[in-house]
Amino acid sequence: MFVMNGNKYDSNWCLTEETYDPEKSKHYEGLFTQGNGYMDVRGSYEEGLAGVDQAREYERKPANVTLEKHLKEQSNWGTYIPGIVGKHPHLMTEIINLPYFFETGFCINGETLDMNESKITGYKRWLDMRDGSLNRHLTWHTKNGQTVEMEFFRFISKENAHLAISQIKLKLVSGNGEITFFGGANVGVRTNGFNHFTGTEISAIDKNTVQVAVDTNGGNKVVILSKLLTNRKVATVSLGDEKRGFTTGTLELGEGEELVIQRIITVATDRDKADYVTDPFETCAKTMDYALETGCDVLLNRHQGKWFSYWNRSDVIIEGDDRVQKALRMSIYHLLRADNDRDDRVAICAKGYAGAAYFGRYFWDTEISLLPFFIYTNPEAAKKLLMFRYNTLAGAKRNAHAYGYKGARYPWESSVTGDEECANWQYADHEVHVTADIVYAIMHYVHATEDVDFIRKYGIDIMVETARYWCTRVDKFADGSYQLLGVMGPDEYLPITSNNRYTNKMVKYSLEQTIFWLEQFRPEHLNVTDEEIAMFKDVASNLKLELESPEGIILQCDEFLNYADIDFDSVWKDRSKCFGTFISQERNYRSKALKQADVLEMMMLFRNEFTKEELQANYDYYEPITTHDSSLSAAVHGIIAAWLGKEDEALAFLDRVINIDMDDNKLGAEEGIHIANCGGLWQLIVFGFAGMKTAFESDEIIFEPHLPKGWKKIIIPIERNGEIKRYEVK
Amino acid sequence: MFVMNGNKYDSNWCLTEETYDPEKSKHYEGLFTQGNGYMDVRGSYEEGLAGVDQAREYERKPANVTLEKHLKEQSNWGTYIPGIVGKHPHLMTEIINLPYFFETGFCINGETLDMNESKITGYKRWLDMRDGSLNRHLTWHTKNGQTVEMEFFRFISKENAHLAISQIKLKLVSGNGEITFFGGANVGVRTNGFNHFTGTEISAIDKNTVQVAVDTNGGNKVVILSKLLTNRKVATVSLGDEKRGFTTGTLELGEGEELVIQRIITVATDRDKADYVTDPFETCAKTMDYALETGCDVLLNRHQGKWFSYWNRSDVIIEGDDRVQKALRMSIYHLLRADNDRDDRVAICAKGYAGAAYFGRYFWDTEISLLPFFIYTNPEAAKKLLMFRYNTLAGAKRNAHAYGYKGARYPWESSVTGDEECANWQYADHEVHVTADIVYAIMHYVHATEDVDFIRKYGIDIMVETARYWCTRVDKFADGSYQLLGVMGPDEYLPITSNNRYTNKMVKYSLEQTIFWLEQFRPEHLNVTDEEIAMFKDVASNLKLELESPEGIILQCDEFLNYADIDFDSVWKDRSKCFGTFISQERNYRSKALKQADVLEMMMLFRNEFTKEELQANYDYYEPITTHDSSLSAAVHGIIAAWLGKEDEALAFLDRVINIDMDDNKLGAEEGIHIANCGGLWQLIVFGFAGMKTAFESDEIIFEPHLPKGWKKIIIPIERNGEIKRYEVK
């Protein structure tokens, strides 16, 4: 056995938990999520936690996810393969929490290692973002007086999608004893309280190999093959009980002696694109053969090499602020981890596959918050994300049809099939801007890459079908204007408004682009008629869009001034908590209190169309009445504050953005990573502080920096035309 | 045994089913519901129906009740005792469907009587509204060649709350055979798919008596005692199986011989006010003793006498239109049946306790649609209905508090405790007018009865607490106006509007009345301060209420003109169905398409404040854009059409009102009676066609009739000052 050694600890690259705090356990599980795009596993302890029942069934019902009070467990295992989804009895389709395959437990003379019950010193756990490896060191003091040093190390291979490896060193520093260990895959898991497995097959393949196969209620088969190796001669046996397949062994260990366990785990599903073969059992077996032939140390090297190549094109260096540096790396790490750039049937879900809170669904976050990072660092990955929307166009058409419209309407919460999965009608019915956001995102990609071919092959279908939708969704008024009534804009605290400026601007832009590209070429299969194009033009030209007012304020919607002013200080008693928790939804829905950037988001996305004075006026108007209850908001306000040279405010927003997932007092990562905010942080640094012009504004890469005091420089890698260039911004 | 004989059939008093149609079975179950205020039982067949499983469990989830597609059973037993409620896993608290105690079955030589499977001729079933008795005659032709005439007759005693009696005659017209019968109470029932019984105790008391007691998940005990008597010497035995307690017997019957079965059933709960005793077992036993001592024929007489006294004060005679006459009697029958004028802890639920569709909850229907009938025919009953609101004031205070307001806010869907049970937030949160409607209703009652004492003892509490709510619910604007934003008016197709005129008018009126009565006396226990009264006055004076416009149109809300016009003909393909089924909620919510009367409802309720020209202008404006998807709407439009002398339109609305529950092609009564529409029909006849001024308009009883051609006269009994007078209107 070749024992693996992780990287040397580097605080600029490592997210670290210095002590074990049961209250924070779930937060670190989310923050320490590992993955390779194909699969993701929350950073749960290998041995589980006493008092936590991962198999507890309960009824989780639809609720407002922002305000919902979760059934609070100290730990939630989470093992996800994007695309493996199934129906939940109350929550429509959700991503399925799969068997936990890192489970590995230890006993010494009958005493079980457990973070809640054992006496532990020297605890330190860190996620090394360079290679996404999770490390844990601790010293365990048993009741029998043994002192045991333990080192846990694990990674999910970035080189081989189906492979995960875990290594645990156990050294008896003092005393001796009988060590029993087991490692395998545990099917006793639930997703939001529900058991999605319709069948389970647990097989002991040989003395150190077990295979666990589950059938899901989404019709998939998922196979996990687990092999357990040791550095010492131990008789092991593989067994299955009602919820586990595992390999176990017992040995005597003398003082100073060390046991090293390596677990090689291969995972495959019948939904995989053919990496090796399409039968998941065979994929698992062949991947295992490959891993055994190669050896863990070489597998680790190859894995690290892959991560290095991703970091090479993505790592933004901030000289002069280590805290921000690390936070930005955290964001980039999770973006790189959660993206599968080889599978265009999935995108990146709202919680970055680090939790099941948003059920593994896809929002506008993908296009507006996440995509820019990929457009400028890995255009192929950006294209793949856009292809997800192309591949779900049929769902968007079903969705439009269900509402009585023509064409295609992208769902607010998209399933992997593009069907609407949002349980709350006010969002599903009224938050329609996502459909136009997707066309904006296509154009962002095309401006940056000049990949016009993408429009010809895929984008034009999306454009034409969504234009058809908009033309049936608008209402025509006697004055010849078209209006979009009954709309929720990005600000979700005003549910049903008229002519939300963000939405109307996006729709107008989207129609204009559609018209422009139809003038370049006319794809036969879409049967676009001249009358249709005339209609597109009529709606694009006459869609109500009032962007002026005497005071220079762009009203969020027609009725904005009619909403009630709110005395924030009397309502919002504790600003460390969401504003929404202090006010009934009913009152919120009639007050001038924004959940998130709306007009400002529009101004940011169409920056070249507005003067600095206009930006300033609207920032001054909206900022005091924006609660930032949404994690998508602070980055936008931060970018605009940076552009306006408001350094203190921009830094305050930066803090806010960082704390959303990094602050272990806020516990923001408990239910997963706010992945849109990760994309937002990258944008705040690159577009905001470094002041990079987007491809909408400039064909060249240009920076107009607004670096905070103390920041020496920012080095930003940007890929253009297949070439990665590093820009130093001072 | 004294065999009972029902009334001679009279088509003007009998709702009749001439043939058995399986498709209509459920409709007639609802339409033929019997009751005495204390308990109600749907008109299901005694013997059940082959293929129907009354105990089927399923998950019914919250949905829009108007548009929801029900799980369609051919029959739903329904036995309700208002106040006996329990939690449903998805639907909050609902009225519990109790064991079906009319169940009685027959076999001849092994062949079971069943409407779906037996050969039946001469079928006729009718509800005699004079005494609420349900009759069924049929001839059964068995496979063995016997011909059996059967007569079913049953009633729920209006004289004794706890008593129900069923009599079945079976005569062998030709052939002879072995007859087996059983009768008892069946606990195999569900409410909206859920089993609310936490315990069941079935006891055979003696050879012809069984007792069934259930414990509900609402914490109540309900006891049913059943005795089975026959006219012939038959050995009977009482038994219990897992879902029934029953008495059974077998006898040989020769050609021409007749078997008469009488079932005496007594029912009591631990929630009863002490009619005899408070122990439900004892109530059942004592009521049974009373029944046996008295004999069924005398019990029937006493029951009929009670019904006669109710009809005497309620029956409106329409000379010249038998169809309308019968429909009106149907409405009055169900109003009299569903009301318990001895229990002020319950009111009349939306489906009149004839089905579980609205879960047994209380809406504004009570005050606005039902109450006028009681105010003018039985003021004590009207007072009792208002007392229900007084008794649930604590719930209304909890409700206000939950939303962050002072005082009391009545729930949109009230449980028996006054707590909000509406599962759809748009109604629960925004349809606030019910709170003011209650004060309006109190004043209606007081104007008619001069029962100022009611205000002193009860009404003032409601007034002050609801005024406190309104003063915290309004928003104050810079121009000094108070506004009610985020409001759904009676028209439920515009969910979130500003200054809905109906609501604001009601609130203003309600505050003005509160101020007026506080000027008469100041109840100490309410601790009303001068500052508070000043606040009430400020809000009452400055609440935005624009009732004028150049064209004489009162806009339903501030933004009404901004909604989209809708081309009804292109959307509403089949006007026999709800408009709402042809349009997505999303589109509906942004279009000028009213679910029901809103401005017109307000104008009707405050008629003396508007000129005929104003009424005409608003009727002409709103009528074409009102869909009447709500059963509360047609009566209002009909009344106004009658006032405006539009006879054809008024008659068309009358048709519509009648057909809501009477048309057995529409099957409107399947899930219960639209009891608000019953009150609406009475109002349409009395206020509309007969043109009676309400007590708001006139201290005297005055009629300004608008009788349709062919109607000779209407005779209307009105109670004033304890005296019933009959008014002839020509």
Q: How do residues B283-301 score in pLDDT, each as one tens digit? A: 999 999 999 999 999 999 9
Long-range Cβ contact pairs of A689-694 (< 8 A, separation 24 or more): A689/A642, A689/A650, A689/A654, A689/A714, A690/A714, A690/A716, A690/A727, A690/A729, A691/A642, A691/A643, A691/A729, A692/A716, A692/A718, A692/A727, A692/A729, A694/A372, A694/A444, A694/A447, A694/A448, A694/A607
Q: Do B590 and A496 touch (CB under 8 A)?
A: yes
Return the beta strands (E) in A312-394 as ranges: 317-319
- Residue B66, pLDDT score: 54
pLDDT of the residue at B2: 86
What confidence score (pLDDT) does residue A350 get?
96
Task: Count Cβ–Cβ pairs < 8 Å, chain A vs chain B.
Answer: 76
**With contacts defined as CB-CB under 8 Å, which chain A residues touch B583?**
404
Mean pLDDT of A381-386: 98
- Which of helix, strand or coil describes residue B120? strand
Q: If you average pLDDT over residues A398-410, what whole number do you get?
A: 97
pLDDT at position A65 over 80: no
Lowest mean pLDDT among A172-176, B19-23, B275-279: B275-279
Please tell me the predicted confidence (pLDDT) of residue A334: 98
Residue A10: the pLDDT is 95
Q: Do the chains contact at B584 and A496, CB–CB below 8 Å?
A: no
Nearest residue to A11 via CA among A468, A326, A243: A326
Residue B69 pLDDT greater than 90, yes or no? no
> How many Å apart are CA B421 and CA A679, to the nearest integer?
41
What does the pLDDT average to over A253-259?
96
Q: For residues B30 and B666, give the distance between their C-alpha atoms in angstroms, rounded to a whole number.
A: 13
pLDDT surpassing 80 at residue A67: no
Mean predicted confidence (pLDDT) in B156-170:
97
Average pLDDT over all residues of chain A: 95
User: B486 and chain A: CB distance < 8 Å anywhere?
Assistant: yes
Higher-pLDDT residue of A225 and A61 is A225
Q: Do residues B247 and B184 lie in contact, with contact meaning Cβ atoms separated by under 8 Å?
A: yes
Q: Name, in order, each residue with C-beta under 8 angstroms of B49's C-beta and a sequence gap of 6 or more.
A: B22, B25, B74, B75, B114, B115, B116
d(CA A578, CA A13): 31
Q: Quick check: B39 and B80 in contact, CB under 8 A?
A: yes
How far CA A729 is from CA of A56, A144, A679, A704, in Å, comes to 52, 59, 20, 9
pLDDT at B214 > cutoff 80 = yes
pLDDT at B65: 52
Listed in sequence order, the residues at least 6 apart from B492 whose beta carbon sits closer than 8 Å to its beta carbon are B427, B431, B595, B596, B630
Q: What is the pLDDT of residue A417?
A: 96
pLDDT for res A1: 79
pLDDT in tens, A692-717: 999 999 999 999 999 999 999 999 99
Interface residue A645 vs chain B (CB under 8 A): no
H helical segments located in A150-240? none
Give B414's DSSP letter.
B
* B425, B558, B586 member nearest A585 (Cβ): B425
Average pLDDT over residues A6-14: 94
Q: Which residues of B fall within a CB distance of 8 Å from A90?
A: 61
The token duo for A396 is: 């968007």
pLDDT of residue B431: 98
Report the percent of chain A where pLDDT is more than 70: 98
Closest chain A C-alpha to B555 CA, distance in angstroms: 16
pLDDT computed for residue B551 by the predictor: 85
Average pLDDT, chain B: 95
* Contacts with B527 (C-beta within 8 Å, 6 or more apart), sequence order: none
Q: What is the mean pLDDT of residues A492-505?
A: 98
Set of chain B residues whose Cβ sits within 8 Å of the Cβ of A425: 585-586
Give pLDDT tens digits for B267-284. 999 999 866 567 999 999
Phi, then psi, of B162 in degrees rounded to 5: -95, 10
Cβ-defined contact of A564 to B402 (cutoff 8 Å)? no
pLDDT at position A63 is 67
The ipTM assigned to this model is 0.91
**Helix A530-542 with A460-473: angle, nearest 10 deg:** 60
What pLDDT is attached to residue B333? 98
| pLDDT average, residue stretch B40-67 | 86
Closest residue in chain B to residue A566, using alpha carbons only: B475
Q: Could you write out the DSSP letters of every residue in A467-520?
A: HHHHHHHSEE-TTS-EE--SB--S-TTS-SBSS-HHHHHHHHHHHHHHHHHHHH
Q: What is the pLDDT of residue B277?
A: 62
B609: pLDDT confidence band, cut at 50, 70 and 90? very high
Helix H or strand E segment including B576: none
- Contact status of A590 with chain B (Cβ, < 8 Å): yes
What average pLDDT score do residues B454-481 get?
97
DSSP code, position A175: S
Q: pLDDT band at A77, cuts 50/70/90?
A: very high
Determine the residue of chain A that is closest to B495 in CA distance: A496
Percent of chain A with pLDDT over 90: 94
B202 pLDDT above the threshold of 60? yes
Predicted TM-score (pTM) of the model is 0.93
Q: Does A425 touch chain B (CB under 8 A)?
A: yes
What pLDDT shows up at residue A291? Answer: 97
Binning chain A into helix, strand and coil, the percentages to the nearest 5 are 35, 25, 40
A706 touches A643 (CB < 8 A): yes
Query: What one-letter code names the amino acid at A634?
Result: A
In this structure, how many other beta carbons lie within 10 angstroms of the beta carbon of residue A704?
Answer: 11
Name the nearest CA neighbour of B443 among B367, B384, B374. Answer: B367
pLDDT at residue number A450: 96
Across the interface, of B565, B583, B589, the residue whose CB is closest to A496 is B589
Which tops the pLDDT comparison, A151 or A549? A151
pLDDT in tens, B666-710: 999 999 999 999 999 999 999 999 999 999 999 999 999 999 999
Q: Give yes or no for residue B220 having a pLDDT over 90.
A: yes
Backbone angles phi, psi at B266, to 5 degrees: -120, 145
Contact B584, A429 (CB under 8 A): yes
Who has greater pLDDT, B62 or A708? A708
Among A233-237, A264-268, B515-519, B682-686, whose mean pLDDT is lowest?
A: A233-237
**CA dist., res. A350 & res. A367, Å (int):** 12
